[in-house]
Amino acid sequence: MANLDIKLKVDASGLSCPLPILKATQGIKTVESGQLIEVLATDPGSVKDFDAWSKATGNAMVEQDAADGKFRFVLRRK
Amino acid sequence: MTAAAAADKPKKLVIICYSGELEKTWATMILASTAGAMDMETTVFVTFWGLQTFVKDKKRITGENWMQKMMSFMQRPGASHRKLSKMNFMGMGPWMMFQLAKKYNVAKPKDLLEMAQAVGVTFLPCQMTMDMFGLKREDLIDGMGEPVGAATALQLMTEADSTLFI
């Protein structure tokens, strides 16, 4: 985890669908291709949603974990 | 076409936004904004009651003749003034929906509309509806496409990967 060079953190905690996806989209557009963003969310649906979003957009899921109802996604801009 | 090229080709979504009730407007805005965020080439054809949602919020009375004016008076246009089809109770229903949305951090239709526009979703007003309701381009929100008709909507639908009528 420590070796990841995260360019931007997007905190979507507490936000309901589809806001975590929309915030991540806004965020990832501000970094360069190949750079990483980290998204935090508490919406349980976001686990499947980020997977679908990643597949649809080509922004790769680099890391994903969950703990205590919090979800973390690290995504690389296509 | 190679498989890689096919995968890179953006998926196309067309939504026919026909209804003007709050619950259906909400569904349209959620799907349109998310589709845009998923890099889908998204077009929303806005017609009949749906077009009322795209009148600027601050407009109160629209139209040229008394019937058009009366229609806008009876149901206030604008994305922030949608009514529920059931349990509207003189605005009490929508008020409660917005309170719940706030409590659970759910974006309102108007916010989602702005986000959809920011991610490149195209909203096309129906020319015939504009004429029938006496709506002018300046009555509608900024950033909408050129007014078009049913033939354009159908052509877009036949080329789309997915279509919705809401």
Q: Residue B34 is encoded by which pair of tokens?
A: 């998310």
The one-letter code for the residue type at A46 is: S
Which residues of A are known catalytic residues? 17
Cis link prior to B77 (omega < 30° from 0)? Answer: no
Q: What is the model's pLDDT at position B36?
A: 98
Q: Judge whether B82 and B108 are in contact, CB under 8 Å.
A: no
CA distances from A54 to A68, A74, B37, B41 (A): 23, 11, 11, 16
Residue A56 domain boundaries: 6-73
Exposure on the CB side of residue A63, measured as CA atoms within 13 A: 15
Tally of domains within chain A: 1
Q: What is the model's pLDDT at position B1?
A: 45
What are B111-154's pLDDT values in tens digits?
Answer: 999 999 999 999 999 999 999 999 999 999 999 999 999 999 99
- The CATH number linked to A44 is 3.30.110.40
pLDDT, average across residues B49-62: 96
Q: How many helices (H) and strands (E) does chain B have?
A: 8, 4
Q: Is residue A78 part of a domain?
A: no
Interface probe with B: pick from A21, A22, A77, most Cβ of B within 10 Å: A22
* Structural domains of chain B in order of their starting residue, each with its CATH number: 19-165 (3.40.1260.10)
Q: What is the model's pLDDT at position B4?
A: 52
Contact state of A22 with B104 under an 8 Å Cβ cutoff: no
**Is residue A2's pLDDT more than 70?**
no
Tally of residues, chain B: 166
